């Protein structure tokens, strides 16, 4: 009985080992290649449980999903001889597992080969256009052209390039300072032009304002002279009328104005004779001054 149990246990172990060696599982995100002594036998792309010859065949699994290749930034020269550093990312997938295994073998070799192909396509496409096209909306068409060129070169490698995109496009570090200085000079030149235009406009506005001010002052002065002349004429007329009505009172009034303007307390000294014409009213009494003044009649009741 013990021997039977032992043989049964050994049989179970052998069966488990044979089952484990003859069955394999392919996941949803994988595709497999069955090899027999290194020779490809068949390709398995449907997920699930599959069988193979135990100990004679082995399985190489490959990704079915889209893979990313992010290479190093490369310096390329545009058609206008301007340098630019391009950092691109490539998305690809394994379209033919058998061809992929025969030509490349593993993913490390595939990435190295794909990097050289993408770099060559970038240099070919970017070298045929000026730098301005790389930095403009035309870049999408350029990336489509690069992807087409890469697909043409990887069609016999079992790889299909889905997309190629530029993550970053910068000028070389050695060109940054000269370009910055040139941009600074251009901005300073534009600033000088704007300042010159502003100064010209300011001078024009000041000239127009000064001309307008001169015209307004001249017109105001002319009107003032007219009004002053009219006032002087009216004053002369009033004085003449007053002089004609009472010459003695008018002479007395003018003498008082002369006394007020001459006899001030500013320390001015005048030497005049007492019987001078200037003091002719000093020795007269009020009744003598207004002897000939017109009498006002009483209002009628």
pLDDT (tens digit, 0 to 9) for every residue of the chain, 301 residues total? 577 777 677 777 776 676 667 788 888 888 888 888 878 888 888 888 888 888 787 888 888 888 888 878 888 888 878 778 888 888 888 888 888 888 888 888 888 888 888 888 888 888 888 878 877 888 888 888 888 898 888 888 888 888 888 887 777 766 667 777 888 888 999 999 999 999 999 999 999 999 999 999 999 999 999 999 999 888 888 877 877 777 777 777 777 777 777 766 666 676 766 666 666 666 654 554 445 444 434 444 3
Nearest Cα to Cα of residue 160 among 69, 251, 78: 69
The answer to whether residues 41 and 35 touch, using CB atoms and an 8 Å cutoff, is yes
For residue 267, the number of C-alpha atoms closer than 13 Å in the C-beta half-sphere is 0
Distance of CA 72 to CAs 48, 109, 116, Å?
Answer: 38, 16, 11
Helix, strand, coil percentages (3-state) for the chain, rounded to 5, are: 55, 20, 25
Rounded Cα–Cα distance for residues 101 and 236 (Å):
126
- For 249: left if phi > 0, alpha if psi spans -120 to 50, otherwise beta; the answer is alpha
Q: Could you tell me the maximum CA-CA distance found in the chain, to the nearest angstrom?
A: 181
Q: What are the chain's domains?
A: 2-63 (no CATH), 67-171 (3.30.479.30)
Structure tokens at 107: 């993913």
- What is the structure's pLDDT at 301? 36
| Kind of pairing between the strands at 159-170 and 83-94 | antiparallel
- What is the structure's pLDDT at 210? 92
Nearest Cα to Cα of residue 284 among 242, 254, 252: 252
- What is the structure's pLDDT at 78? 82
pTM, to two decimals: 0.51
The answer to whether residues 40 and 98 touch, using CB atoms and an 8 Å cutoff, is yes
- What is the structure's pLDDT at 197? 92
| Kind of pairing between the strands at 48-51 and 23-26 | antiparallel
Rounded Cα–Cα distance for residues 111 and 92 (Å):
10
Buried b (16+ CB within 10 A) or exposed e, 187-211: eeeeeeeeeeeeeeeeeeeeeeeee
Structure tokens at 217: 């002052």
């Amino acid at each position: 009985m013990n021997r039977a149990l032992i043989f049964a246990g050994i049989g179970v172990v052998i069966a488990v080992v044979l089952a484990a060696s003859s069955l394999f599982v392919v996941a949803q995100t994988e595709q497999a290649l069955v090899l027999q002594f290194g020779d490809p036998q068949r390709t398995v792309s449907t997920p699930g449980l599959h069988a193979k010859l135990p100990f004679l065949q082995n399985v190489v699994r490959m990704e079915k999903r889209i893979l990313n290749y992010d290479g190093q930034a490369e310096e390329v020269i545009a058609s206008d001889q301007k340098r630019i550093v391009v950092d691109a990312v490539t998305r690809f997938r394994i379209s033919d597992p058998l061809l992929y295994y025969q030509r490349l073998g593993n993913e490390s070799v595939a990435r190295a080969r794909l990097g050289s192909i993408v770099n060559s396509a970038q240099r070919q496409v970017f070298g045929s256009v000026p730098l301005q096209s790389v930095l403009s909306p035309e870049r999408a068409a350029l990336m489509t052209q690069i992807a087409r060129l890469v697909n043409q070169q990887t069609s016999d490698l079992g790889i299909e390039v889905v997309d190629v995109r530029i993550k970053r496009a910068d000028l070389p570090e050695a060109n940054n300072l000269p370009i910055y200085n040139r941009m600074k000079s251009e901005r300073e030149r534009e600033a000088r032009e704007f300042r010159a235009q502003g100064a010209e406009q300011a001078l024009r506005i000041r000239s127009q304002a000064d001309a307008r001010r001169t015209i307004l002052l001249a017109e105001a002065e002319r009107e003032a002279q007219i009004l002053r002349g009219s006032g002087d004429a009216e004053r002369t007329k009033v004085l003449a009328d007053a002089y004609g009505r009472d010459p003695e009172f008018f002479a007395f009034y003018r003498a008082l104005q002369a006394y007020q303007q001459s006899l001030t307390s500013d320390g001015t000294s005048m030497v005049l004779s007492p019987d001078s014409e200037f003091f002719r009213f000093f020795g007269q009494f009020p009744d003598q001054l207004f002897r000939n003044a017109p009498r006002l009649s009483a209002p009628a009741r």
